[in-house]
């Protein structure tokens, strides 16, 4: 049988083995692979792929694979783009709020710290599995040598989704073969019931806040406003005469720096009626700030509902610190300021307010999210349910009254 002729892309060459000094045969493959631009279109620029193999069989197999990928438009040339480069490029291309970009940056940081110098084409499922395991165990190392606190599934799974977004972006550009993050098992979520105030604790907290200059801030929090919403609320968004307030502005903390802007979603922009208690608290705060405005030490601008005695809006982290001190002095559960929002949703639910109404009040677009995330059972309510069940069982077990 005649020997099959080598294709034009493969030729025999002889190279010197540096270890032995002997001359050895190699099969060199040289193929025009082309390149893919950022839109995914095969560009006319010439790109040659050159590799050497010990056997003709290996060279032919490699050539066949490359030619097939080129014809399908799936060929990806070797690239020196690192994981750090890929993450930085992806973040730079996002048209998102500054606070959201900061959250994405934080989520991707463990990957960048651990594998930033690795060529992104060499990133494997094993790398990501190891990263997830280290984050769960609290053994992920920061650049300064300190260990990160253990991450939960609620942080790890969004991180993996972001890594997947970075990798699929490279795939669309023809710079990566596949998204290895999609192969990684997500961490199982462990449901932890969030702690909220009972009605009694709410009353104790409100009683303690009556003598607090910032008492109206805590009533706003217990009325379901996010921290950023109450910190960004301005007096021109409050109509004391009509008894309503409108969420048009937020002030959030991004890596310790205050970022001001519109609410994060259209549903977050909402107008809420004022309860008599909240209306009274806001009227008192407005009068007090009017007196403070006359002081020689006043620096303004005085446009924010929650501000210090010289008219400056509080840093959101400062508001959280004040809240924590109030919880301690009121001898109530030491819960986060954001959990006051959970308390609002839970107490409204326990009073029979429909979920759709609670969702609109809290500024959600998804009723199921409200039910799943913001509405919680309370021990007192569960005891009441047990009493109700017991009364039903007793009535069923009682013998019918004899007719007289």
> Which tens digit of pLDDT belongs to each residue from 310-353?
999 999 999 999 999 999 999 999 999 999 999 999 888 888 88
Specify the pLDDT at position 40: 47
Q: Considering the chain, what is the average pLDDT of its residues?
A: 88
- Binning pLDDT at 50, 70 and 90, where does residue 404 land? very low
Domains of the chain by start residue, with CATH: 10-72 (no CATH), 83-183 (1.10.150), 199-380 (1.10.443.10)
Q: Hey, which residues does 259 pair with through a beta bridge?
A: 252
Specify the pLDDT at position 173: 84
How far, in Å, CA of 201 to CA of 203, rounded? 5
How far, in Å, CA of 235 to CA of 233, rounded? 7
Specify the pLDDT at position 31: 84
The mean pLDDT of 253-265, rounded to a whole number, is 89
> Which tens digit of pLDDT belongs to each residue from 176-197?
888 999 999 999 988 777 788 9
Q: Identify which of 264, 272, 204 has the alpha carbon closest to the alpha carbon of residue 228.
A: 264
How far, in Å, CA of 159 to CA of 149, rounded? 15
Specify the pLDDT at position 194: 77
Specify the pLDDT at position 38: 45
Q: Of all residues in the chain, what percent carry a pLDDT higher than 70?
A: 87
- Binning pLDDT at 50, 70 and 90, where does residue 367 land? confident
Specify the pLDDT at position 361: 94
Rg, Å, the chain Cα set: 32
3-class secondary-structure state, position 252: strand
Q: For residue 393, is pLDDT > 70?
A: no
Range in 3-7, 109-113, 303-307 the model is least confident about: 3-7
How far, in Å, CA of 277 to CA of 169, rounded? 51
Q: Residues 356-373, buried b or exposed e (16+ Cβ, 10 A)?
A: eebbbbbbbeeeeebeee
> Which tens digit of pLDDT belongs to each residue from 200-228?
999 999 999 888 999 999 999 999 999 99
pTM of the model: 0.71
Cα maximum dimension of the chain:
120
Let me know how long the chain is: 404
- Binning pLDDT at 50, 70 and 90, where does residue 384 land? low
How far, in Å, CA of 271 to CA of 316, rounded? 22
Specify the pLDDT at position 315: 97
Specify the pLDDT at position 101: 92
> Which tens digit of pLDDT belongs to each residue from 70-88?
776 666 667 788 999 999 9
How far, in Å, CA of 140 to CA of 325, rounded? 33
C-alpha distance across the termini of the chain, in Å: 114
- Give residues with Cβ within 8 angstroms of 111, minimum separation 6: 83, 87, 128, 131, 159, 163
Q: Identify which of 231, 266, 267 has the alpha carbon closest to the alpha carbon of residue 249.
A: 231
Residue 175 DSSP one-character state: S
Q: In 33-128, where do the E strands start and end?
A: 35-36, 42-43, 48-53
> Which tens digit of pLDDT belongs to each residue from 26-72?
999 888 776 554 444 555 555 778 889 999 999 989 888 878 777 76
The mean pLDDT of 285-292, rounded to a whole number, is 97
């Amino acid at each position: 049988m005649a020997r099959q002729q080598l294709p034009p892309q493969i030729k025999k060459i002889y190279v010197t083995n540096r270890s032995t000094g002997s001359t050895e045969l190699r099969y060199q493959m040289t193929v025009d692979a082309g390149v893919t631009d950022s839109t995914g279109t095969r560009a006319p620029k010439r790109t040659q792929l050159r590799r050497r193999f010990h056997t003709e069989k290996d060279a032919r197999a490699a050539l066949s694979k490359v030619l097939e990928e080129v014809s399908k438009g799936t060929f990806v040339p070797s690239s020196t783009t690192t994981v750090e480069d890929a993450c930085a490029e992806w973040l730079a291309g996002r048209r998102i709020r500054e606070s959201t970009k900061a959250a994405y940056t934080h989520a991707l940081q463990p990957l960048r710290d651990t594998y930033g110098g690795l060529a992104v084409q060499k990133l494997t499922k094993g790398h990501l599995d190891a990263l997830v395991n280290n984050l769960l165990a609290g053994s992920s190392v920061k650049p300064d040598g300190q260990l990160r606190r253990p991450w939960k599934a609620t942080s790890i799974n969004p991180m993996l989704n972001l890594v997947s977004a970075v990798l699929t972006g490279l795939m669309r550009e023809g710079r990566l073969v596949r998204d290895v993050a999609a192969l990684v098992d997500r961490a199982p979520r462990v449901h932890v019931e969030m702690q909220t105030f009972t009605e009694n604790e709410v009353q104790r907290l409100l009683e303690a806040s009556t003598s607090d200059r910032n008492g109206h801030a805590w009533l706003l929090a217990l009325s379901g406003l996010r921290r950023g919403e109450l910190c960004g609320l301005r007096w021109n968004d409050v109509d004391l005469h009509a008894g309503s307030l409108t969420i048009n502005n937020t002030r959030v903390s991004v890596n310790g720096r205050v970022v001001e802007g519109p609410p994060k979603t259209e549903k977050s922009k909402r107008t809420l009626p004022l309860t008599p208690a909240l209306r009274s608290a806001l009227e008192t705060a407005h009068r007090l700030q009017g007196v403070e405005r006359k002081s020689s030490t006043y620096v303004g601008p005085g446009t924010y509902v929650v501000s210090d005695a010289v008219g400056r809006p509080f840093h959101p982290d400062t508001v959280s610190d004040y809240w924590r001190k109030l919880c301690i002095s009121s001898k109530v559960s030491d819960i986060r300021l954001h959990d006051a929002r959970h308390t609002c949703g839970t107490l409204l639910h326990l009073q029979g307010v429909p979920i759709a109404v609670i969702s609109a009040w809290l500024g959600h677009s998804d009723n199921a999210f409200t039910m799943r995330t913001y509405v919680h059972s309370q021990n007192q309510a569960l005891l009441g349910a047990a009493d109700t069940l017991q009364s039903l069982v007793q009535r069923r077990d009682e013998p019918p009254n004899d007719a007289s």
